[in-house]
Structure 1
Amino acid sequence: SGHQQVPLRDEVEKSGLLNMTKIAQGGRKLRKNWGPSWVVLAGNSLMFYREPPPPAPSPLWAPTGSRPESSVDLRGAALAHGRHLSSRRNVLHIRTVPGHEFLLQSDQETELRAWHRALRAVIERLDRENPLELRLSGSGPAELGELSAGEDEEEESEPASKPLLRLGGRRSSGRGPEGAEQNRVRNKLKRLIAKRPPLQSLQERGLLRDQVFGCQLESLCQREGDTVPSFVRLCIAAVDKRGLDVDGIYRVSGNLAVVQKLRFLVDRERAITSDGRYVFPEQPGQEGRLDLDSAEWDDIHVVTGALKLFLRELPQPLVPPLLLPKFRAALALSESEQCLSQIRELIGSMPKPNHDTLRYLLEHLCRSGRLHIFVQAGRGYGGHAAETLFRWGRKGNT
Structure 2
Amino acid sequence: MSVLLLLLDRKNWGQSWTVLHGGILTFHKDPKSNPTGNAMKSSQIVPEYTVELKGAAVSWASKDKSSKKNVLELKTRQGCEYLMQYDTESVISDWHRVILDAIKQLVTATNTTAESEQRQVRTKLRRFLQRRPTLQNVKDKGYIRDNIFGCHLDTLCHRENSTIPKFVEKCIKSVERRGLDVDGIYRVSGNLAVIQKLRYKVDREEQLDLEDGQWEEIHVITGALKLFLRELPEPLFPFSCFDKFIAAILPDYSLRVSYMKDLVRSLPLPNHDTMELLFKHLRKVIEHKDSNRMSVQSVAIVFGPTLLRPETESADMTIHMVFQSQIVELILKEFQTIFSQK
Q: TM-score range by the shorter chain?
A: 0.3 to 0.5
Larger Rg: 2
Given the two structures, how large is their TM-score scaled by the length of structure 2?
A: 0.47
Between the two structures, name the one with larger relative contact order (CA 8 Å, sep ≥ 6): 1
- Which has more helix, going by share of residues? 2
